[in-house]
Amino acid sequence: MELKKDSNAVSIDMLLIVHSEKRRAAQGTRSDRQADPGALPQRRGGLQGIGNGIRRWQKFEGSDVHGSLAEKEHPQQTQVITSYDNQGTQLTVEVHPRDAMPQLLKKFSLAKCLQGEKNGNTRPRQPGAKDAHAYPWDRSSLKSMPLDLRQFEKLDTYASQVTVNSGLDELVSDLLQEAHSDLERVRVIWIWICHHIEYDIEAAQEKDRQAFKPTDILRTRKTNCDGYAGLFEKMCRIAGVQCMTVPGYSKGFGYQTGQSFSGDFDHAWNAVYLEGRWHLVDSTWGSGLVDSTTSKFTFLYNEFYFLTHPALFIEDHFPDNKNWQLLKPPQSLKQFENNMYHKSEFYNKGMLSAHPETSVIKTVNGKATITIESCAPTLFMFMLNGKQEHGLLSLRKNGMKLDIYPPTVGTHKLQIFAKGSSDVYSSVLEYTLKCNYVDISVRLPAELHQPVGPSWFSEQMGIVKPSHPDPIIHTGDGRCSVSFGVEEGISVLASLHGDEGPVTEETQRRYIFQVQRQKRAELKVQLPQAGKFALKIFVKKRLEPGNYVFVFNYLLCCTNTKVNWPMFPESFGNWGQDNELLEPLSGVLPANRNVPFKLKLHGVAKALVKGQDTWPLTLTREGYWEGSCSTAGCREIYVMVLENANHNFYSYILKYKVNAQ
């Protein structure tokens, strides 16, 4: 074999390629890919895990875009001689015309390599120590290099609007019109693919299919993960940026918590060489999602998978070659399987960490506790086996705490969602709970919603300085009083919910009597029986239309089986928020008794109690309306007021029932 070097290129007379039997078997059948140099390498993978696997393979450089150019420049037929010895060693000899350059070396220029020119068409170097990032994540950034995403706003808008007028080269040329650095070149390619290429679910599920060609992808605007990765690589190469396709395992669509990985790879992504280091991207997952119920793809751009920090990328991407983890130390497949999987939305919505750090949790005495730390106040919710039940979720200034009580022995699925700055809750974590004991004394009301207890969110909604900062209130006699400050212009509504007895809107509110004192509201609560109850708090801006909005609830607990409090009296619309009822508090009065009344009423000219007869109430020096009435011969008693002394129309404000004789 003779090598000659001039100022521009290397010429070669013969190329010998030697493969061991193991290498040859690992590469698999290549005739289909070599038959069409313009086709992207075929592998079956999927959007977040859909697919039938990816064969292990080492990509020949000759399959890139320059392969077709070589055919035009050297029309002479290349002779290929292949032979095997008795131990399975393969010997391949390519015989070329003396002045021709073999396709495997077509893209190399020794002079350029010696000069160290940066060129997307030079053989990419393998990742080394300087590419590795420390593991675990240091919380410094979601990206593997410093980025200000605001600098991409105009570029992203431009790239997303570029249309395909001709072939791939022309598309890349159009995209690069506004890109002035390798980073910007990679960015416009990434944005265009993520906004224009749809995931082809049907093709991904086929076991035998043809490779995706760039022309077919541009025509149909559909492909699978192989097509995404191959198209991204080819466009980067045309743009002069080094890029590699990386096959491996993934925790995506269809992933089950704690599952193991073996056999064919199920996904593919890319590594790009920028500013002297390798960086990771996944345009398949950056483009959108597949709905698990309808199996339909939806474009939903995900910034997380662009230049993702390798310590985060490893949570759901495990490459065939550990060097492509870009981590120090690299993780084993077993670690990848066992490590907690934080979904991309976990980080997109500002989460920092979660405990426990294992995806499978065993309950202790029927209980499991999960905590999340976030970089800003965040709203959370959870679902246990698809229902928002059997848990106490309390918000913290930077995170949340969840105590979960599985209702039965066995395995349970726990999902945790976060809202962040958007109006949509997104799944951020999934746990598998294993419960071998159920504490029946900790059964929670089905209507106990999230969050439990006051927090930064209730302050944001106008409820401040609560008398009970803890989410659980214990009462021995079945009564309690909860108070909190209320900001100007805010109305408060409360309701009581339990699992025992008939539940109507009337009973939900009649066991609570609300008193407003200046800028502070007091809720007097009487429980109908022992048990656990949810005391729900709602708010509404008085001058704005619409319904009351749920803010939080307390869990009320009473173990006294003698408790049997009646409802409070029924109040009507004219009962002002600043009014106060001191007696009688019970909504059911005894028969044939004289019952004293004492109320504080604002803006009232006269007040009276009406039963079988009428009894006026007198305004005292202390500002209370006082008097009494007889319940003899009555079934109902009303408190009525005259708001304007010049009128004779009295309004009902309270209603009592009288026990049967």
d(CA 305, CA 92): 40
Residues 33/63, Cβ–Cβ less than 8 Å: yes
CA proximity to 59, closest of 86, 41, 83, 85 = 41
Residues 574/641, Cβ–Cβ less than 8 Å: yes
Q: Please give the single-letter amino acid code of residue 361.
A: I
End-to-end Cα spacing for the chain: 118
Q: In the chain, count H helices and then E strands.
A: 16, 41
E strand segments, 96-164: 133-134
- Burial class of residue 574 in the structure, from the number of CB atoms within 10 Å of its CB (0-12 exposed, 13-18 middle, 19+ buried): middle
Residue identified by tokens 């059997």 is 390
Token pair recorded at residue 156 = 């992203």
User: What's CA 521's distance to the chain center, in Å?
Assistant: 36
DSSP assignment letter at 209: -
Residues 38/230, Cβ–Cβ less than 8 Å: no
Token pair recorded at residue 523 = 């809720």
d(CA 439, CA 387): 19
User: What's CA 4's distance to the chain center, in Å?
Assistant: 58
Catalytic residue among 96, 133, 196, 267: 267
Partner residues linked to 317 by β-bridges: 250
Q: In whole angstroms, how large is the CA radius of gyration of the chain? A: 36
> What would the DSSP string read from start to end of 578-605?
T-EEEE---SEEPTT-EEEEEEE-SS-S
Q: Please give the single-letter amino acid code of residue 445.
A: P
Q: Is the peptide bond before 97 cis (omega within 30 degrees of 0)?
A: no
User: What's CA 194's distance to the chain center, in Å?
Assistant: 19
- Provide the H-helix boundaries in 468-594: 505-510
Respond yes or no: is residue 225 known to be catalytic: yes
Token pair recorded at residue 1 = 């074999």
CA proximity to 282, closest of 260, 255, 310 = 310
Partner residues linked to 598 by β-bridges: 583, 626
Residues 297/47, Cβ–Cβ less than 8 Å: yes
Partner residues linked to 318 by β-bridges: 249
Catalytic residue among 194, 225, 236, 243: 225
Catalytic residue among 131, 182, 226, 282: 282
User: What's CA 658's distance to the chain center, in Å?
Assistant: 54
Respond yes or no: is residue 282 known to be catalytic: yes
Residue identified by tokens 């391949």 is 92
CB atoms within 10 A of CB 7: 7
d(CA 478, CA 36): 80
Q: Please give the single-letter amino acid code of residue 255.
A: Y
Distant-in-sequence, close-in-space partners of 315: CB < 8 Å, separation ≥ 6: 251, 339, 340, 341, 342
Q: Please give the single-letter amino acid code of residue 375.
A: C
Active site residues: 225, 267, 282
